[in-house]
């Protein structure tokens, strides 16, 4: 074997005496393995966050439905009681008061819902933060 082939292949020399090409290939392999490990970790974080978000949204929807149904039935029955109490004397005033109360509750609920939607955390916030850190570290290395 000539000297050039031995340098390119690394030959049978010990690790410290291998050629520069062999060291370069080993370094590239290590970098690629590191990048693959980073990508794997970030994908695991992404799937965990998506699963948590789906679970959270599902829980919110179920409890919202229960609350709306229970409140609706309760308010309807309360409205009937008020109207029946004032049936003989002020049935129109009682009906208007109950209707106004329903509109006030609807307005408060709409404003609360708008505030909650605006204040929700950004989707995949932790994943995006970790990817930004990775990008910064890679830029420093290059």
Between residues 109 and 126, the one the model is more confident about = 109
**Predicted local distance difference test score (pLDDT) of residue 14:** 53
Which residue range(s) make up the domain with 104?
3-141
Q: What is the 3-state secondary structure (H, E, C) of 35-54?
A: HHHHHHHHHHHHHHHHHHHH
- State pLDDT tens for residues 33-60: 888 888 888 888 888 888 888 888 888 8
For 118, the token pair is: 């605006």
Is 118 a residue whose pLDDT tops 50?
A: yes
Q: Tell if the pTM clears 0.75, that is, is over it.
A: no
Residue 126: pLDDT band by 50, 70, 90 thresholds? confident
Task: Give the chain's domain count.
Answer: 1
Does residue 22 contact residue 34 with C-beta atoms inside 8 Å?
Answer: no
The DSSP secondary-structure symbol of 124 reads T
Q: Measured between alpha carbons, how far apart are the two ends of the chain, in Å? A: 37
């Amino acid at each position: 074997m000539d000297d050039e082939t031995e340098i390119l292949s690394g030959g049978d020399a010990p690790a410290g005496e291998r050629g520069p090409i062999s060291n370069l290939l080993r370094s590239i392999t290590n970098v690629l393995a590191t990048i693959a490990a980073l990508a794997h970790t970030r994908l695991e974080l992404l799937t965990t966050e998506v699963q948590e978000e789906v679970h959270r949204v599902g829980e919110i929807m179920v409890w919202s439905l229960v609350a709306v149904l229970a409140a609706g039935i309760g308010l309807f029955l309360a409205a009937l009681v008020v109207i029946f109490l004032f049936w003989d004397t002020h049935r129109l005033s009682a009906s208007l008061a109950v209707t106004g109360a329903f509109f006030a509750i609807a307005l408060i609920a709409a404003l609360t819902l708008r505030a909650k939607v605006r204040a929700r955390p950004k989707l995949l916030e932790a994943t995006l933060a970790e990817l930004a850190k990775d990008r910064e570290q890679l830029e420093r290395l290059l």
